[in-house]
Chains A and B, each alone.
Chain A
């Protein structure tokens, strides 16, 4: 157990639907990062939050949004789902700026049918 908890582990949904993926960071970590891993694209950075604030944005689609709550857990919302959104979604956490140690969760496998 890495200390980063992601739920659900698996999700199957239809095109056009909306889903929410949840991440609880390792205790004490302030930063949360979301990554998408498709078979043909490796790990792509989506977005980072630090202590509730958006810190960095990557190639995140407008249909996707995220937030980090006061208790530091984060949610990634994916809407108007398309077949191409099927992927593994990973959350990682780190203590924050100036500190190293990125720890990944075990991911959520999203299948859009």
Chain B
């Protein structure tokens, strides 16, 4: 399949290492944030979300951190696997059900 976002920043990590993908947002009114994973030729796949009244949320092998002071969001992936290779997008919304505004994306490459 074709790659998405050929000019996106790329993070290369060794299999088994932890990955950290960062995202800056600009809308101080954003209340809800989501991380998506997009593999080549597929639609964005939900990873984890967080509301603005939280600063950390954990899922299976993933953690999202939110710093509202500096409008920064990060996604941590533990023990990165080859199947984690994809483009990762952060998205924000002012309220549940409102439109999502997407960040530019980061390519994650996992080396075996």
B62 at the interface (CB under 8 A from A): no
Known: A2-B43, A90-B43. A100 touches B99 (CB 8 A): no
A94 at the interface (CB under 8 A from B): yes
Known: A39-B6, A40-B7, A99-B96. A106 touches B42 (CB 8 A): yes
Interface of B is mostly: loop
B44 at the interface (CB under 8 A from A): yes
A64 at the interface (CB under 8 A from B): no
Min distance, Cβ B106 to any Cβ of chain A, angstroms: 11
What is the interface size of chain A, counting residues whose CB is below 8 A from a CB of the partner?
A: 33
> How far apart sit A48 and B95, CA to CA, in the bound complex (Å)?
14
Residues of A within 8 A of B102 (CB): 35, 42-45
Residues of B within 8 A of A103 (CB): 46
Contact A105 B43 (CB under 8 A): yes
- Specify which of B6, B44, B46, B101 is in contact with A90 (CB 8 Å cutoff): B44
Contact B5 A42 (CB under 8 A): yes
Count of A-B residue pairs with CB < 8 Å: 70
Write the B68-112 contact mask toward A (1 if CB under 8 angstroms, else 0). Answer: 000000000000000000000101000111111111110000000
Min distance, Cβ A53 to any Cβ of chain B, angstroms: 13
| CB-nearest residue of chain A to B8 | A42
| CB-nearest residue of chain B to A56 | B99
- The 28 listed contacts between A and B (C-beta, < 8 Å) are A2-B43, A4-B43, A33-B99, A35-B102, A39-B6, A39-B7, A40-B7, A42-B89, A42-B102, A42-B104, A43-B91, A45-B100, A45-B101, A90-B43, A92-B44, A92-B100, A97-B96, A98-B95, A98-B96, A98-B97, A99-B96, A100-B32, A100-B49, A100-B96, A102-B46, A104-B36, A104-B44, A106-B42
